[in-house]
Amino acid sequence: MPEGPSLIYLREKLSPYTGKKVTAAGGYTDMPTAWLKNKKLLEIKTWGKHLLLRFATGTVRIHLMLFGSVLINKRKKVNASFYLHFGKDELNFYVVKAQKLAQPLDEIYDWRTDIMSKIYDSKHVRKLLKSHGDEMIGDILLNQEVFTGVGNIIRNEILFRSKLHPLTLIKNVPSAVLTILLKETKKYGKQFLQEKKAGTFGQHWEVYERKECPRDTSAIKKEITGKTKRKTYYCPHCQEKYR
DNA sequence: GTGAATGTTAACAG
DNA sequence: CCTGTTAACATTCA
């Protein structure tokens, strides 16, 4: 479920509950839940892969990690790690991490790096990249402080679409290529969201889980690259490694 | 039945 | 202390 665009979609599905009052809250999460009773859900926000449920006295931050899921007015057989009831309606969160945030969200989060944010600022991201010159582009794309909301699928797809090799050092990425990458990040994020909504997600991957490069039919490589312990899919033929 | 996966981090080893 | 590895997560899919 979770990369930045999935969270936007989730927020949309939960939006009817903004302004509604919580009648019960619980779950096996470590987070205390008693404080939520009779509180009105004021706002739902996201920061990358964080779902933020804001109440007057604090915010619930939910992370779906790899296995998380959310059901509205439905239940699984297993217990929810967190749930909220709004009268007859219920939101059930499974295998999620929930945490209470006390501070105002603007003090915690920099919205400029969130690829799905209205105020996403690619110039700012470019500036952040300067201090990571000796790291590899494939690694930095999963750094949530820099590319907030990018996950492994987005990472692989935008590297391919930018014809950029994951092992390229950030300082060696030509400025024009970086511009393309930043543009593709935003663009593919939008496409990801549209496909989620349309139910066609996964049908248009160009490199992720593909065997063959759609540009030149050469073999796609699948291996752990860089420091991040995640599988990288790339075309060694058309994704250039700049030195 | 097995292994891998859209993620993160605490715990541990060296 | 710093750095890297591993396990864990009331999972789910091919």
- Mean of the pLDDT values across residues A213-222? 96
Q: What is the pLDDT of residues A17-47, one digit of tens each?
A: 999 999 999 999 999 999 999 999 999 999 9
Positions in chain C where some atom is under 7 Å from a protein CB: 4, 6, 9-12
Q: Determine whether the distance from the CB of A224 to the nearest atom of strand C is below 7 Å.
A: no
| C-alpha to C-alpha distances, A102 to A60, A68, A84, nearest whole angstrom | 9, 23, 19
Do the strands A97-101 and A50-55 form a parallel or antiparallel pair, or are they unpaired? unpaired
Do the strands A221-224 and A231-234 form a parallel or antiparallel pair, or are they unpaired? antiparallel
The mean of the pLDDT values for chain A is 97
Q: Determine whether the distance from the CB of A211 to the nearest atom of strand C is below 7 Å.
A: no
Q: What is the pLDDT of residues A157-214, one digit of tens each?
A: 999 999 999 999 999 999 999 999 999 999 999 999 999 999 999 999 999 999 999 9
Q: Determine whether the distance from the CB of A81 to the nearest atom of strand C is below 7 Å.
A: yes
CA atoms within 13 A on the CB side of A198: 11
- Radius of gyration of chain A from Cα atoms? 20
Confidence of residue A55 (pLDDT cuts 50, 70, 90): very high
Q: Determine whether the distance from the CB of A95 to the nearest atom of strand B is below 7 Å.
A: no
A150-CA/B5-C1' distance, Å:
16
Specify which residue's alpha carbon is closest to the C1' of nucleotide B4: A231
Q: Determine whether the distance from the CB of A172 to the nearest atom of strand B is below 7 Å.
A: no
Q: What is the pLDDT of residues A120-135, one digit of tens each?
A: 999 999 999 999 999 9
pTM score, two decimals? 0.97
pLDDT (0 to 100) of residue A1: 67
Q: Which nt has its C1' nearest the CA of A2?
A: B6
Q: Residue A89: CB partners within 8 Å, gap ≥ 6?
A: A17, A20, A72, A73
Task: Work out the angle at residue A64's Cα, subtended by the Cα atoms of residues A58 and A69, and round it to the nearest 5 degrees.
Answer: 110
Question: How far apart are the C-alpha atoms of A27 and A229, rounded to whole Å?
Answer: 31
Q: Determine whether the distance from the CB of A1 to the nearest atom of strand B is below 7 Å.
A: yes
More confident residue, A55 or A2: A55
pLDDT (0 to 100) of residue A29: 97
A150-CA/C11-C1' distance, Å:
22
CB A60 within 8 A of CB A31: yes
A3-CA/B6-C1' distance, Å:
6
Q: Which nt has its C1' nearest the CA of A64?
A: B7
Q: Please, what's the b/e burial string for A56-86 (b: 16 or more CB within 10 A of its CB; e: otherwise)? A: eebbbbbebeeebebeeeeeeeeebbbbbbb
Q: Determine whether the distance from the CB of A71 to the nearest atom of strand B is below 7 Å.
A: no
Q: What is the pLDDT of residues A61-85, one digit of tens each?
A: 999 999 999 999 999 999 999 999 9
